[in-house]
Amino acid sequence: MASGMLKRTVLAGITIVLLASLVGAGALAATQGDLAFFKGKVIKFIVPYSVGGGFDSYARAIAPYLEKYIPGVTVVVQNVPGGGGMIGINTLYAAEPDGLTIGIAHGAGAVINQVLKTPGTRFKLEEMNWLARVTTEPLVTVVSGKSAFKTVEDFKNAGRPIVFAQTGVGSGDYYGSLLLLKALGINYKVVTGFPGSREANLAVVRGEGVDGTSAFYGSLLPLIAAGDVRPVVQLAFKRHKDMPNVPTALEIVTDTNRELVQALTSLFEIKYIIGAPPKVPAERVAALRSAFDKVFADREFIDWSVKMKCPVDYLNGAELDKAVEENLDAFTKLEHELKAITENK
């Protein structure tokens, strides 16, 4: 009797262990998603700007690490510039929903374009599958290092419009610049048509008919360090550690426009974001998200970001979904104010 009970107890124990192992394996598979699907296939990684800019640099740095964590896949970066980034994100949104097309996007610009229903907008951000935020850094308004302008007050007292270079109408930096400068009470003119931030920045350095530009700190860092451009104001909740003497927009904006600048600052926390089209099978989205988790924890990738001075501030896909939704809601409530400003540009 005792022997039989012992056997049944042992068998029950073995069964529990096996079930636990199976459940654990199943949970791991669910977390990692359908990695097997990608073996032997090519992932197209869309960059909505020209070669050499900040978005392009991040995409090309990330690609080999995706190959490392998605066994057997090849990742090919494809630049799809135009329309201030609009063409690239439209292309991403309309891509085949098989998980083999991903793209990096200007999240802040995309939110503004969707809320304003900018002509040419053919995407719905809430329908897309978000995979990762690469980083967050301040939008910085700069002038040439040789410029007489040093402060926002200098802009206001210029007696003429301040001419700013931007990639194109509809780009995130275009709208960010426009809304920020309007909120700060600056009389300005925007010159568009530059294929990427690199070209716009160089136009400022060379004094090619423009006074300044607004771009993200990472793309401006070498120029700031060399003294080729001078930062005037930064869009951030607190002063960047490397720009302690440059005021934030929130420090100098009037109470009338504080809510807009607060929302704009929050929005630009989701500039560098990576996503996939709508309707990609959930298990493939899970596989991609799992791979990005590993990429941004990879010691070599982190070392690259430090060496190249390309900051990383990772947000996973689930958290990014929430951030995109919250910013869409916030700017939808400000739609009237946004239209009033942008239509009188």
Q: 201: domain CATH number?
A: 3.40.190.10
* Domain-embedded: residue 304: yes
**DSSP output for 80-110:** ---GGGHHHHHHHHTS-SSS-EEEEEEHHHH
Domain limit, last residue, from 224, 245, 267: 267
Cβ-based neighbour number of residue 320 at 10 Å:
22
pLDDT at position 314 is 97
Domain containing 123: what range?
38-136+271-334
Distance separating alpha carbons of residues 261 and 237, to the nearest angstrom: 10
Residues 119 and 146 in one domain: no
Residues 294 and 246 in one domain: no
Residues 87 and 167 in one domain: no
**DSSP output for 195-232:** SSHHHHHHHHHHTSS--EEEEEHHHHHHHHHHTSEEEE
Phi and psi at 128, nearest 5°, equal -80, 165
Residues 251 and 282 in one domain: no
pLDDT at position 195 is 79
The pLDDT mean for the chain works out to 88
What percent of the chain has pLDDT above 70? 90
Give 109 or 14, the one with higher predicted confidence: 109
Distance separating alpha carbons of residues 38 and 40, to the nearest angstrom: 6
Residues 261 and 283 in one domain: no
Residues 235 and 307 in one domain: no
pLDDT at position 31 is 59
* Domain-embedded: residue 214: yes
The region of weakest confidence among 56-65, 133-142, 215-224, 298-307 is: 215-224
| Helix or strand holding residue 139 (H, E) | strand 139-144
Residues 92 and 201 in one domain: no
Distance separating alpha carbons of residues 113 and 287, to the nearest angstrom: 30
Q: Say which residue the tokens 């907008």 belong to.
A: 121
- Is 226's pLDDT higher than 90? yes
Residues 263 and 320 in one domain: no
Is residue 104 within 8 A of residue 74, CB to CB? The reply is no
* Domain-embedded: residue 229: yes
Distance separating alpha carbons of residues 232 and 249, to the nearest angstrom: 10
* Domain-embedded: residue 247: yes
Domain limit, last residue, from 252, 267, 282: 267
Tens digits of residue pLDDT in 167-214: 877 677 788 888 898 899 999 999 988 877 888 999 999 998 999 999
* Domain-embedded: residue 7: no
Residues 98 and 117 in one domain: yes
* Domain-embedded: residue 305: yes
CATH number of the domain bearing residue 326: 3.40.190.150
pLDDT at position 202 is 93
Domain limit, last residue, from 267, 286, 303: 267
* Nearest residue to 154 (alpha-carbon basis) of 110, 115, 184, 176: 184
Residues 53 and 151 in one domain: no
**Model confidence band, residue 345 (pLDDT cutoffs 50, 70, 90):** low
Residues 107 and 148 in one domain: no
What is the DSSP secondary structure assignment for residue 248, as one 8-state letter?
Answer: B
* Domain-embedded: residue 4: no
Count up the domains in the chain and report the number. Answer: 2
Q: Say which residue the tokens 């190959």 belong to.
A: 67
Residues 112 and 153 in one domain: no
* Domain-embedded: residue 212: yes
Is residue 83 within 8 A of residue 69, CB to CB? The reply is no
